[in-house]
Each structure stands twice: as C-alpha cells, then as structure tokens.
Amino acid sequence: MAQNKTKKIAIAALLVALAVAGSVLSVPVFGSRCAPVQHMVNIISAVTLGPLWGVGIAFLASLLRNIFGLGSLMAFPGSMIGALCCGIMYKLTKKIGPTCVAEALGTGILGGLAAYPVAKLLMGLEPGSMTVYMIPFLISTVAGSILAYILLKALNRNGALDSMKSQVK
C-alpha cells in the first residue's frame, strides 16, 4: 500500500515538473498564457492517476508556474477545472477520446468562464465580457488535447499505457 502511494507521488511529481518545464512553450493570447503541455499533463494524469490527483497536479503546476513567472493566476481555474472534467470522464468511460474532449470543454468553456472573476477581482483587469477567455483557453487546450491523444494512443498501441496504469493500482 505504501509502495503504491509512493509510486503515485513520484508520477505526480514528474507530471508537475513536465507541466512547469513545458510552460516555456506557452504563447500569450489575449492576456492569457496558453500552455498546451499543461493540458496534455491533465489528460495523462486523468488516465494514469485519476481526477483528484489530476486536480492536485494542476494546482501545483499552476502554483509553480506563477512562482517562476511562467503563468498567470488564470492558470488555476483553467487547468484545475479541465483536470477535474477529464478525470471524471476517464473514470466513467475509460476512453481516451472522450477524455480529451472533456479536457478541452472543461478548460475552454468552464475554465474560460471561471477566469473572468479571477482576472477582474484578483488581477485588477477589466475583461470585456465573461466569455473573453474562452477562445484563448480553447486554443491552448485543444492543442494540448491533440498532443495527449496522439501520445496516449501510441502508448496504448504498444501496451505501455496498460503497464503504466498497472504500476499505480
């Protein structure tokens, strides 16, 4: 039991590190920093560790990205909501495709809406509308979802994904 928890923590730490390191590939779009690697990590977390671990990984990655100046406060609602949505979808379906779609919709739509009060109340910005962050969030999350889909399908094809999942059960 303790060994299993240690493996999960180690995988989570690697995924946080991947998300933070991958955020140097971010692109500013309409006041948001689009980081597709974070969304790929959300999906990998959902598939290998589950929804709660995914939310924790998204939180820690967002926190570190902000500390290192690689992200904004809007990273929190976008990544955490997306991680929860795709984690729940994978738990329900065990399918990669719907999980990727749930990440894109969770981050792009729900996370984009949740970013509005963060921008207005915590960052002192004056966003034009509640939906202003949906497009940049969708751009980022669709790119990350496509990357995750390709990677996970390749890992699934050669049996590596099942091996990874069995290591943390």
| Arithmetic mean of pLDDT over the chain | 91
Per-residue pLDDT tens over the stretch 54-107? 999 999 999 999 999 888 898 899 899 999 999 999 999 999 999 999 999 999
Per-residue confidence (pLDDT) for residue 33, from 0 to 100: 64
Give 21's Cβ-side CA count (13 Å radius): 6
CATH code, domain with 115? 1.10.1760.20
Residue-range definition of the domain harbouring residue 77? 2-23+32-167
- Give dist(CA 111, CA 99) in Å, integer: 16
Give the closest residue to 92 by CA, choosing from 102, 104, 107, 106: 102
Say how many domains are in the chain: 1
Question: At 32, is the pLDDT very low, low, confident or very high (cuts 50, 70, 90)?
Answer: low
Per-residue pLDDT tens over the stretch 81-92? 999 999 999 999
Per-residue pLDDT tens over the stretch 120-151? 888 988 888 889 889 888 988 998 999 999 99
Per-residue confidence (pLDDT) for residue 38, from 0 to 100: 93
Token digits of residue 128? 């034009």
- Give dist(CA 86, CA 43) in Å, integer: 6
